[in-house]
């Protein structure tokens, strides 16, 4: 039986995108365009998970979340254009299970839905995509990067690139290999795309640990090197 996801989002384009993508992935969905309908549909649709925007007409997302939490622990993922830490903390303290900052990529939404459903006991584990090193956790299940114990906001493609490199420590990948294996064979870009993503990752990971590093192998490509000194 398919899992049911209630989408509470007043932006028609975003709501339709979420609806079409999740239906394609095998979920049953229903869309509410305002907070009042969100509460109403939550009671009638009885979803397994709610995607809940914060800025809504009639009743905002916080009020909808409060109504849901009055007597129910159904997982709720907040959708917000606000990326400030206090908004994220506030959402989690009020009972949200996760948050996604707009604009987002659909595969990040899907990964977070699966991760939240697993934590709630609504899905079977299908093999963890998580790598752990000294002061570094790369989690492709929940699309999270933890650096020295702190979550660092990282675009999905950067995280996928880091995970790919770290999955084969000390192996050198050429730029073209990374384009093929991370971006996919249908990606028509140039190798500078890889360089830009590596540069951004280094800004997040610089001097975190002496046990590993992202290393440039001149004339060849990049590797995630273990046992490296700073």
Mean pLDDT of the chain: 86
48 falls within a domain = yes
19 neighbors 41 (Cβ within 8 angstroms) = no
162 falls within a domain = yes
Question: What pLDDT does 162 receive?
Answer: 96
User: Are 113 and 42 found together in one domain?
Assistant: yes
Cis ω before 73 (30° cut-off from 0): no
User: Are 63 and 169 found together in one domain?
Assistant: no
User: What is the number of domains present in the chain?
Assistant: 2
The whole domain housing 206 covers 152-226
Q: For 88-121, write each residue's pLDDT tens digit.
A: 666 667 788 888 888 888 888 888 898 788 777 7
Note the helical H segments in 12-83: 12-24, 35-45, 61-69
Q: For 174-223, write each residue's pLDDT tens digit.
A: 988 888 778 764 455 667 888 999 999 999 999 999 999 999 999 899 99
131 falls within a domain = no
User: Are 28 and 77 found together in one domain?
Assistant: yes
Which residues on adjacent β-strands are paired with residue 147?
Answer: 136, 150
Helix-strand-coil split of the chain, %, nearest 5: 40, 25, 40
Q: Domain boundary at 98, 119, 140, which?
A: 119
User: Are 159 and 94 found together in one domain?
Assistant: no
Q: How many residues does the chain have?
A: 230
Q: Which residue has the higher pLDDT, 103 or 173?
A: 173
User: Are 10 and 111 found together in one domain?
Assistant: yes
18 neighbors 7 (Cβ within 8 angstroms) = yes
pTM over 0.85: no
Question: What pLDDT does 86 receive?
Answer: 65
Round to whole Å and give the CA distance between 101 and 190. Answer: 28
User: Are 20 and 65 found together in one domain?
Assistant: yes
Question: What pLDDT does 80 receive?
Answer: 83
Q: How large a percentage of the chain has pLDDT more than 70?
A: 87
User: Are 109 and 159 found together in one domain?
Assistant: no
45 falls within a domain = yes
Task: Give the CATH number, domain containing residue 39.
Answer: 3.40.50.2300
User: Are 40 and 110 found together in one domain?
Assistant: yes
List strand residue ranges (DSSP E) for 54-125, in order. Answer: 76-80, 98-101
125 neighbors 118 (Cβ within 8 angstroms) = yes
User: Are 8 and 102 found together in one domain?
Assistant: yes
């Amino acid at each position: 039986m398919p899992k049911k996801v209630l989408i509470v989002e007043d932006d028609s384009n975003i709501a339709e995108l979420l609806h079409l993508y999740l239906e394609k992935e095998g979920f049953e969905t229903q869309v509410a365009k305002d907070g009042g309908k969100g509460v109403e549909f939550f009671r009638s649709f009885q979803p397994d998970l709610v995607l809940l925007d914060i800025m809504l007409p009639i009743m905002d997302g916080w009020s909808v979340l409060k109504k849901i939490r009055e007597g129910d622990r159904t997982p709720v993922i907040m959708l917000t254009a606000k990326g400030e830490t206090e908004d994220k903390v506030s959402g989690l303290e009020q009972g949200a299970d996760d948050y996604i900052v707009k604009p987002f990529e659909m595969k990040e939404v899907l990964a977070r839905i699966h991760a939240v459903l697993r934590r709630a006991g609504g899905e079977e584990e299908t093999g963890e995509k998580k790598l752990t090193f000294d002061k570094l956790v790369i989690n492709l299940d929940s699309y999270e990067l933890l650096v020295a114990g702190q979550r660092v906001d990282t675009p999905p493609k950067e995280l996928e690139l880091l995970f790919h490199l770290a999955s084969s420590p000390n192996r050198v990948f050429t730029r073209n290999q990374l384009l093929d294996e991370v971006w996919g064979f249908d990606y028509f870009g140039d190798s500078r795309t890889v360089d830009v993503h590596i540069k951004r990752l280094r800004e997040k990971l610089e001097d975190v640990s002496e046990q590993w590093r992202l290393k440039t192998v001149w004339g060849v490509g990049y590797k995630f090197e273990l046992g490296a000194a700073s």
